[in-house]
Amino acid sequence: MKHTIIAAILSITFYGTTFANNGPIKGPVTPHTTTVTTGSVTKADGPSIPNFKGMEHFLEKFPQATNVDCKVKGQFTEVNFIWNGLRLQAFYNASGDPVATSRFITADNLPVPALMNLKKDYAGYVVIEAVEFDGIEDGLCYYVTVTGPKNSYLLHVSTSGTISVFKKMKQ
């Protein structure tokens, strides 16, 4: 079940991303919201955010979030937002319980042991995308998409640098 949840979230993250930009936001950030069918709620300090299951947790954890946009995708609610100049995603299950947060990072921001192992084990491959994934059940890890002359892989990378193939992808 845990593998299925992570796979679903990663599918949402990698194949339906709203925020593919890496790094901090430059310039002023303007509050923007997308209203979903359940309406919106105005935060005490200003802009309104879409109403969704898990909103109370979201407001508590990310009180200064702006540009909040949420989408229900299957059994999860994906919340894209900007917090402290970073583009983040938070995921909630159908009951509104937090499942994970993630953000796109550059390969340079992977832990040094991970970079060393990628260079050794996947020489000749190019890092296409890297996501820092902080799951409620499993904690912090990384998912890295690499592509080579014959194959592409979605790799699961631990904070200690251990790499395993999460999914082999079609080229």
pLDDT over 60 at 35, yes or no: no
User: Against a cut of 0.75, is the pTM above it?
Assistant: no
CATH number of the structural domain spanning residue 165: 3.10.450
Q: State how far the Cα of 50 lies from the Cα of 56, in Å rounded to an integer.
A: 12
The reply to whether 10 and 69 lie within a common domain is yes
Q: How crowded is residue 84: how many other Cβ atoms within 10 Å of its Cβ?
A: 10
The reply to whether 85 and 112 lie within a common domain is no
- Residue 85 binned pLDDT confidence (cut-offs 50, 70, 90): very high
What is the model's pLDDT at position 53?
83
Which amino acid type is present at position 100? A
The reply to whether 123 and 67 lie within a common domain is no
pLDDT over 50 at 19, yes or no: no
CA geometry: angle at 106 spanning 126 and 104, to 5°? 110
Nearest of 22, 7, 3 to residue 131 by alpha carbon? 22
The reply to whether 75 and 114 lie within a common domain is no
pLDDT over 80 at 76, yes or no: yes
The reply to whether 12 and 68 lie within a common domain is yes
Query: Do 17 and 145 form a contact (C-beta atoms < 8 A)?
Result: no
Q: How crowded is residue 43: how many other Cβ atoms within 10 Å of its Cβ?
A: 16
Tell me which residue range forms the domain holding 126: 107-169
